[in-house]
Structure formats: C-alpha cells, structure tokens
Amino acid sequence: MDCKDMALFAANVLDNKKARDIVAIHIGSKAAFADYMVLASGGSERQVGTLCDELEEQFEKEGVFVKSIEGKKTSGWILMDYGDIIVNLLTVEMREKYNIEKVWGDCEFLNLED
C-alpha cells in the first residue's frame, strides 16, 4: 500500500465509522515530515476515540502499524502518525478552532468521492 492508498484507506475507514468532514491532503511538496494528512471530525470526544481505535485496528489488519499516537481520547484532538501519513481526529469545536485546512490550503486535496 503506497502513501496515497493509505490516505484513501484511512478516509474510507473513517467514513464507514461516520466521521464528519473528512479530507485528505497531499502535503509532500510543502512538508518533510509526511506526504499526506487526513483530517476528520467526530461529534464528541467519545466518537473521536472510537475513530482512533477503529482506524488503528483496520490498519493493523492490513499489516500497517501506527508509529505513535498523540493526544488523549478526552482531549478533543488525536494525532496518529503512520510515517508517510498523519491522521488528525478532532472534535468539531477543535477543528473549527485550529482550522488546519487553512494552513495547507495551497496543497492538493484528494477527491474522496470515488
């Protein structure tokens, strides 16, 4: 599974768990730490924690293991580092507050409709 496939896989898993406002951004040309970033919102801290657990479980089934997880299930923001992709899971309120998409607004946003 290449980086783009991993980002799309993450987006699909999150969509299946009813995450909101999922975006996948190709940040490789602007960042040295990863090639893709996936953002998704949960309606509550509990849902954000559930999204994290589900994503970790589904990636493990594919033989892909998270390098680190930052944030607590009660913090409103969890960052999952898969090396070439970074997944940010946030409550709606935290996502509005930090507006991460604006920082990466000049990068390519993947089409997740397909």
* Ranges of the chain with pLDDT below 50: none
Domains of the chain (ranges plus CATH)? 3-109 (3.30.460.10)
How much is the pLDDT for 6? 97
pTM metric for this prediction: 0.94
How much is the pLDDT for 72? 85
SS3 76: coil
Tell me the CA distances in angstroms from 90 to 30, 40, 99, 102, 103, one per residue in order: 22, 6, 11, 15, 16
Tell me the CA distances in angstroms from 42 to 23, 64, 81, 89, one per residue in order: 13, 23, 18, 7
Cβ-proximal residues to 83 (8 Å cutoff; 6+ apart), any chain: 34, 67
Single-letter code of the amino acid located at 114: D
Give the span between the Cα atoms of 71 and 52, in whole angstroms.
Answer: 11
How much is the pLDDT for 114? 58
Q: Are 42 and 13 in contact (CB under 8 A)?
A: no
